[in-house]
Amino acid sequence: MVRASIGTLTVLGLRDIRMDAAPTTAYLMIGGRCSSDCAYCGQGRSVAGDHSRLSRISWPEVDEDQLIAAFVAHPGAFQRVCFQATASRGVFRQLLSLVQRIHQASGLPVSVSYRVTRDEEAEQLLDAGVERIGVAIDCCSEQLYPTIRGGTLADAKSLVKSLSEKYPGRVTTHLIIGLGEDEMEASELMLDMRHAGVLVSLFAFTPVQGTQMEHGSPPPLLAYRKLQFLLGLLDWEDEEHFCVAYDAKNGIHSFGLNEAQMRSFLNRHFLFVTHGCPGCNRPFYTEVPGGTMFNFPNIPAETAQGEIDQFIQDLKTDGFEFAEGQNGEGEGSLTGDMLDYVGDEESLSPRPDSR
């Protein structure tokens, strides 16, 4: 069984819906009912009702041959293909076969989101034409991980880091913000992953009907924006001497930059767009059109400045500390509980492919 996101099918001419933004990556899903039971995921084994949703998106079934033919008939429609594979019997074999067929038909780089458990699996996927392997960590909290996701965060981190060591520049992970973690947990995990050369893609938690967390709430936008800003600092490295300071509640309290530096950085790089494998924009995965836009699928020319202004204003209202003076560096009075200077780490090489 193959499913494709409704937006993907529309771009391929297999459905006809009105879209506020078209996907630039083709999103496919394979596998039956997942043997895992993550508390937030619509594919979990104990989820009641139909399993045709992941996040906010519906994923209709599609005939495999029809899908291949549509890729051939629409060259240049996408920049990438991404497979989401549930943990289910026989899924790996199906994944290998479909990756090969679609890679051949489309000529596109392929990402797979699949929990690789053995080196041979990673080798086989790469041999089949996969460019990037995604292993989702999702939950940033050590304490909450066992109940929300099962297993431990330490094991998940070590799996992702060891894959990245073996296959540098080819590993992606997903982090979901809003599962109950605090900002420091998310930030420290992002720094850890970035130091290990792993590309981090952020998602905002979206309650899905029928899951254990169906009554939960999306994260506060300000917390999400601060983490997007940090991800941008790690990617672009324009601001070499930033730091991350936390307050007593483990919130991000300062980046050691003054307001002008933060504005200038955001004007150069609008960081509130989807961040993931190159070409991934995931339109409205976690957003309702007209609602809070955690990840913009593309730069919103008319409202980008307003988004930046709102972010800066929200920081001020929240008591965020901007460094003083022209350059920020060394002139602020950072009072957070923890201070991590990361901007001058030699291991942080520019990652132009990670936006």
Tell me which residues touch ligand SF4 (CB under 6 A): 25, 80, 82, 111, 113, 134, 172, 174, 201, 276-277, 280, 282
Q: Which residue's CB is nearer to ligand SF4, number 245 or number 277?
A: 277
What is the dihedral sign for C-alpha 339, 345, 351, 354?
A: negative
Residue 213 beta carbon to ligand SF4: minimum distance, rounded to whole angstroms: 20
Rounded to 10 degrees, the C-alpha dihedral 34/35/38/39 comes to: 90
Is 194 within 8 Å of 227 (Cβ atoms)?
Answer: no
Instruction: State how far the Cα of 138 lies from the Cα of 147, in Å rounded to an integer.
Output: 13
In sequence order, what are the residues at sequence separation of 6 or more whose Cβ sits closer than 8 angstroms to the Cβ of residue 194? 200, 234, 348
**At 53, phi and psi to the nearest 5?**
-125, 145
Residue 82 beta carbon to ligand SF4: minimum distance, rounded to whole angstroms: 3
Q: Which residue's CB is nearer to ligand SF4, number 22 or number 334?
A: 22
Residue 192 beta carbon to ligand SF4: minimum distance, rounded to whole angstroms: 18
Residue 136 beta carbon to ligand SF4: minimum distance, rounded to whole angstroms: 8
Instruction: State how far the Cα of 277 lies from the Cα of 125, in Å rounded to an integer.
Output: 17
- Closest Cα partner for 234 from 288, 279, 189, 267? 189
Please identify the residue of the shown chain whose CB is closest to the bound ligand SF4. Answer: 276
- Closest Cα partner for 28 from 106, 144, 143, 139? 106
Q: Which residue's CB is nearer to ligand SF4, number 112 or number 262?
A: 112
Residue 48 beta carbon to ligand SF4: minimum distance, rounded to whole angstroms: 25
Instruction: Indicate the length of the chain as a whole number.
Output: 355
Residue 277 beta carbon to ligand SF4: minimum distance, rounded to whole angstroms: 3
Instruction: State how far the Cα of 121 lies from the Cα of 102, in Å rounded to an integer.
Output: 19
Q: Which residue's CB is nearer to ligand SF4, number 113 or number 164?
A: 113
Q: Which residue's CB is nearer to ligand SF4, number 201 or number 258?
A: 201
Q: Which residue's CB is nearer to ligand SF4, number 280 or number 348?
A: 280
